């Protein structure tokens, strides 16, 4: 119980223990974090509160699309906002709240050099709003619509470093897990979206404190995922769009296990970005890069069954400011999104 989910307890002052040189463990830690998410340290150094509703490229893409033609202005604005909304929804479904479901501790290693490995399968859903891209007129596009996304995510985790220990029950400091994931999403075609998409993710989780009999598990994680292209609208609608998507995520979690049950809470920051292409009327295609950032909060609980754990999670993601000061459309980008997931995890 004093070891939480990790491998061995404290190993003195050398992460990884076993007499391994400290500089080697430190180098491995730095390399893993760099591979997990390029620029995570720079993002963490900035105030998340200041960045939480940042929007980039939406107004510029709409301006390029309408080309100064007032007849296309409303359509181009709603299409560019629809791209941002779909990026946020698909990105959140791929990243979810917790980077590893059902635990706030790093996995650590087993005896010797063998990593402790965990695999999980999550089923998730989220509710979000967007302009009505399935509408057949510009007036319909200006209306707000609600959609539900559903998906599955498989996650694999391997403990690489056990971290520092300062005594019995106080360990796992700067321990390290590597994380890989694959997610698939089902988009509602009746809302004018692609039928499906998928995402591949890589990342790392660093232990602040490994869970013990008396102390909670605390960790932070940085991940990045890459999503397949998403399409909006078609030839029958007043406009159409498509977008690529990359999601960069930071998560901080804290939780505690009590024999057969446990709870965890966390906060996260996501950045969604990708190259987008709009087509409105007969104006041709116009391309630009769209990005947005937001804060999310989540909580989960679980039941333990030997090496298996079943967990449920619910969370809330903040919205973004409207980049257009004078806009008549009904869609409000500041609206929050709710999400939920259930996961089954096995740790070996």
Which is it for the CA torsion 193, 198, 204, 209, positive or negative? Answer: positive
Report the pLDDT value the prediction gives residue 20, as an integer from 0 to 100: 39
pTM: 0.84
Please report which confidence band the pLDDT of residue 79 belongs to, taking 50, 70 and 90 as the band edges.
very high
151 CB burial (10 A radius; 0-12, 13-18, 19+) = buried
Q: Is residue 23 scored above 50 in pLDDT?
A: no
Query: Structural domains in the chain?
Result: 22-347 (2.40.128)
pLDDT of residue 235: 85
Q: Is 126 helix (H, G, I), strand (E, B) or coil?
A: strand
pLDDT of residue 12: 33
On the question of pLDDT at 43 being above 50, the answer is: no
CB-CB contact of 74 with 142 (8 Å): yes
CA-CA distance, 15 to 8, in Å (whole number)? 11
* Mean pLDDT computed over 226-234: 95
> What's the CA angle centered on 190, arms 185 and 196, to 5 degrees?
20
pLDDT at 134: 93
pLDDT value, residue 133? 95
Could you give the CA distance from residue 129 to residue 49 in angstroms, rounded to a whole number?
23
The Cα–Cα gap between 275 and 286 comes to 11
| pLDDT of amino acid 91 | 97
- Among 7-21, 70-84, 136-150, 202-216, which is the least confidently predicted range? 7-21
Mean pLDDT for the chain? 87
Q: What is the pLDDT of residues 110-150, one digit of tens each?
A: 876 789 999 999 999 999 999 999 999 999 999 999 999 99
* C-alpha–C-alpha distance, residues 26 and 9, integer Å: 18
Could you tell me how far CA 158 lies from the centroid of its own chain? 19
48-63: pLDDT as tens digits: 555 567 899 999 999 9
């Amino acid at each position: 119980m004093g070891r939480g989910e990790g491998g061995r307890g404290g190993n003195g002052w050398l992460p990884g223990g076993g007499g391994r040189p400290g500089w080697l463990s430190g180098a491995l830690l730095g390399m893993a974090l760099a591979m997990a998410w390029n620029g995570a340290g720079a993002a963490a150094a900035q105030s998340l509160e200041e960045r939480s509703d940042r929007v980039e490229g939406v107004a510029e893409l709409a301006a390029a699309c309408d080309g100064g033609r007032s007849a296309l202005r409303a359509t181009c604005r709603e299409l560019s906002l629809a791209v941002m909304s779909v990026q946020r929804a698909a990105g959140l479904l791929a990243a979810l709240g917790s980077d590893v479901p059902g635990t706030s501790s790093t996995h650590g290693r087993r005896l010797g050099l063998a990593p402790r490995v965990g695999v999980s399968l999550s089923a998730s859903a989220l509710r979000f709003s967007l302009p009505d891209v399935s509408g057949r007129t510009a007036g319909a596009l200006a209306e707000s619509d609600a959609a539900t996304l559903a998906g599955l995510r498989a996650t694999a985790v391997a403990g690489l470093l056990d971290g520092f220990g300062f005594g019995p029950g106080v360990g796992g400091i700067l321990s390290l897990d590597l994380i890989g994931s694959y997610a698939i999403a089902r988009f509602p075609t009746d809302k004018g979206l692609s039928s499906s998409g998928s995402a591949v993710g890589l990342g790392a989780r660093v232990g602040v404190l490994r869970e013990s009999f008396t102390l909670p598990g605390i960790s932070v994680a940085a991940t990045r995922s890459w999503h397949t292209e998403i399409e909006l609208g078609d030839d029958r609608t007043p406009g159409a769009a498509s977008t690529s998507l990359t999601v960069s995520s930071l998560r901080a979690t804290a939780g505690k296990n009590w024999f057969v049950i446990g709870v965890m809470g966390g906060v996260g920051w996501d950045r969604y970005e990708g190259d987008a292409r709009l087509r409105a009327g007969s104006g041709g295609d116009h391309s630009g890069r769209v990005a947005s950032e937001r804060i999310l909060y989540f909580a989960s609980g679980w039941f333990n069954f030997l090496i298996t754990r079943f967990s449920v999670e619910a969370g809330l993601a903040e919205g973004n400011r409207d980049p257009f000061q004078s806009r008549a459309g009904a869609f409000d980008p500041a609206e929050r999104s709710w999400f939920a997931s259930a996961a089954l995890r096995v740790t070996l």
